[in-house]
Chain A
Amino acid sequence: MNEAAAQPLLEVRGLRKFFPISKGFLRRVVGHVRAVDGVDFTVKEGETLGLVGESGCGKTTASRCILRAIDPTDGEILYRTRDGRTVDLARLPPGELRPLRAEIQMIFQDPFGSLNPRMTLLDNVGEPLLVNGVTSRTERTERVAELLRLVGLRPEFMHRFPHAFSGGQRQRIGIARALATNPRLVVADEPVSALDVSVQAQVLNLLLELQARLKLTFLFVAHDLSVVRHISDRIAVMYVGQLVELAPTDALFGQPRHPYTAALMRAVPVADPRVRGQDGILGGEVPSPAAPPSGCYFHPRCRFAQDRCRAEAPALREVAPGHFSRCHFAGDLTL
Chain B
Amino acid sequence: MTPPTPMATEPLLQVRDLRVSFALDDGLVRAVDGTSFDVMPGQVLGVVGESGCGKSVTMRAILQLVDRPGRITSGEIRFRRDGEMVDIARLPPRGAVMRDIRGGEIALIPQEPMAAFSPVHTVGEQIVEAILLHSHRWGEKKLGRRDARDITVGLFRDVGISMPEQRVDAYSWQLSGGLRQRAMIAMALSCKPRLLIADEPTTAIDVTTQAQVLGLLRELQAKYDTAIIFITHDLGVIAQMASYVVVMYLGRVMEQGPVDDIFHAPKHPYTRALLRSIPGLSGQTRVALPVISGALPHPFNRPAGCPFHPRCPDAMERCAAAVPRLLPVTPNQLASCFLHHDEAELP
Interface residues of A (CB under 8 A from B): 48, 54-55, 166, 168-169, 196-202, 204-205, 208-209, 223, 225-227, 229-233, 249-250, 253, 263-276, 278, 281-283, 285-286
Contacts and interface: CB of A to CB of B under 8 A. Distances in A.
Most chain A beta-carbon contacts within 10 A, residue among B260, B273, B292 = B292
Given A269-B234, A270-B239, A285 B281 contact: no
Nearest to A57: B206
A54 B235 CA distance: 20
B281 A272 contact: no
A264 B280 CA distance: 14
Contacts of A278: 215, 218
B286 A271 contact: no
Contacts of A209: 288
Contacts of B281: 225-226, 229, 253, 265, 268, 270
Interface of B: 1, 50-51, 176-179, 206-212, 214-215, 218, 233-240, 242, 259-260, 263-264, 273-275, 277-281, 285-292, 295-296, 298, 311
Given A48-B286, A198-B273, 14 more contacts: A55-B206, A166-B298, A198-B311, A205-B289, A230-B279, A231-B285, A231-B286, A266-B211, A267-B210, A269-B211, A271-B238, A272-B263, A276-B1, A285-B178
Contact of A196 (B51, B207, B211, B286): B51
Contacts of B285: 229-232, 249-250
Most chain B beta-carbon contacts within 10 A, residue among A209, A232, A269, A270 = A269
Contacts of B274: 197-198
Given A197-B235, A205-B289, A230-B285, A225 B207 contact: yes
20 contacts: A48-B286, A54-B206, A54-B208, A197-B233, A198-B292, A201-B292, A208-B287, A208-B288, A225-B281, A227-B279, A231-B286, A233-B286, A267-B208, A270-B281, A271-B238, A271-B263, A271-B280, A273-B263, A276-B1, A286-B206
Closest 3 CB pairs of A and B: A269-B236, A230-B279, A267-B211
A266 B240 CA distance: 12
A29 B20 CA distance: 55
B292 A272 contact: no
Nearest to A209: B288
Contacts of B239: 269-273, 275-276
A283 B209 CA distance: 8
Nearest to B237: A269
A197 B50 contact: yes
Given A54-B208, A208-B286, A271 B291 contact: no
A201 B209 contact: no
Contacts of A208: 286-288
B240 A282 contact: no
Contacts of B273: 198
A170 to B, nearest CB: 11
A272 B210 CA distance: 17
A297 to B, nearest CB: 14
B235 A271 contact: yes
A262 to B, nearest CB: 11
Contacts of B234: 269
Most chain B beta-carbon contacts within 10 A, residue among A201, A209, A285, A286 = A201
B236 A201 contact: no
Contacts of A229: 279, 281, 285
B214 A169 contact: no
Contacts of B238: 271
A205 B287 CA distance: 8
Contacts of A276: 1, 239-240
Given A202-B291, A268-B236, A273-B239, A197 B277 contact: yes
Contacts of A266: 211
A327 to B, nearest CB: 17
